[in-house]
Structure 1
Amino acid sequence: MRTILYSRNTMKALLVVAHGSRRVQSNQEVVTLAAQMAKQLTDYQHVHAAFLELVEPSISTTIEECYQAGVRDITLYPHFLAEGTHVVNDLPRIVEQAHSAHNDLQIKLIQHLGGFPGLADFICKQL
């Protein structure tokens, strides 16, 4: 178990991570979502979109860029509807690789979109 102490001045980043698509508009939706979230999340100095496949920037590259910019606390939000292989295997593997590369980096992988409590209620209210 790793114990890492952080000061209140530790820079934080949120990465909105998605699969990536050959369709440019799909990727742009994720970039737009990250920009909208950045306006509301004042505790995060960096908010970025990052992609697992097919398009840049990759998740690993974005983690490394954040680290090089001084970020030591990263939250990954998986913008996935289902708990498939990417959520269960690929994202935890990327997190572990980043931990191995930088032992002073804290990365938290939060619940994927489809697993959020209240999602069904939110959808039903839109109908």
Structure 2
Amino acid sequence: MSKALVLFAHGARAQAWAAPFERLQAQVRAQVEAQSLECAVTLAFLELMTPSLPVAIDALVAQGADDITVVPVFLGQGGHLLRDLPQLTDAIRAAHPGLRLQVVGAIGEDPGVQAAMRDYCIRSLA
């Protein structure tokens, strides 16, 4: 089984907006490699930037991935994650019936991420 991880972000018109997500992708990829995990790590966007989630997953499947986890790099479960993402994943599953596709919760709802954001906010007072 070939694994892949897709960091799924919103997208924006300004190319510079993607920089933190590209850094996150590079950091995750480096950690995956440091742990000798066999897992492709890619970045996909909902809109305004490329690749889209379906295009990114099509490419991963073409490279042999059959177990893909999507991590929404969103602060919370808003309309995009409640409506748009399920529609996208339904279409992806229909296009790739043998694919194991897992979508985890929004990154901003993770307790560890919340703690890191809390600490950042407190440090901003200094």
**TM-score interval, smaller chain:** 0.7 to 0.9
Secondary structure of the structure 1 residue equivalent to 2:111:
coil
Q: Aligned partner of 2:50: which letter?
A: E
1:79 correspondence with 2:70: no
TM-score, length basis structure 1: 0.86
Query: Counterparts of 1:29-48 in structure 2 under 5 Å?
Result: 29-41=20-32, 42-48=36-42
In structure 2, the partner of 1:57 is 51
TM-score, length basis structure 2: 0.86
- Kindly provide the CA deviation profile for residues 5-29 of structure 1, in whole angstroms up to 9, marking residues without a partner as x: xxxxx11110001010111111122
Give 5+ residue unaligned stretches, structure 2.
none
1:94 deviates by 1.2
Q: Aligned partner of 1:102: which letter?
A: H
Question: Identity of paired residues, percent?
Answer: 32
In structure 2, the partner of 1:22 is 13
- Kindly provide the CA deviation profile for residues 43-95 of structure 1, in whole angstroms up to 9, marking residues without a partner as x: 34210111010011111100000001110000000001121111111111111
Secondary structure of the structure 1 residue equivalent to 2:61:
helix
User: Which of the residues 109, 113, 118 maps onto 1:115?
Assistant: 109
* Alpha-carbon distance in 2 for matches of 1:95, 1:43: 25
In structure 2, the partner of 1:89 is 83
Structure 1 contact 35–48 (Cα < 8 Å) conserved: no
* Alpha-carbon distance in 2 for matches of 1:120, 1:51: 23
* Alpha-carbon distance in 1 for matches of 2:91, 2:13: 26
Cα distance change, pair 120–70 in 1 and its aligned pair in 2 (3 A): closer
Structure 1 contact 38–44 (Cα < 8 Å) conserved: no
Of 53-62 and 88-97, deviating more is: 88-97
Structure whose residues are more often helix by fraction: 2
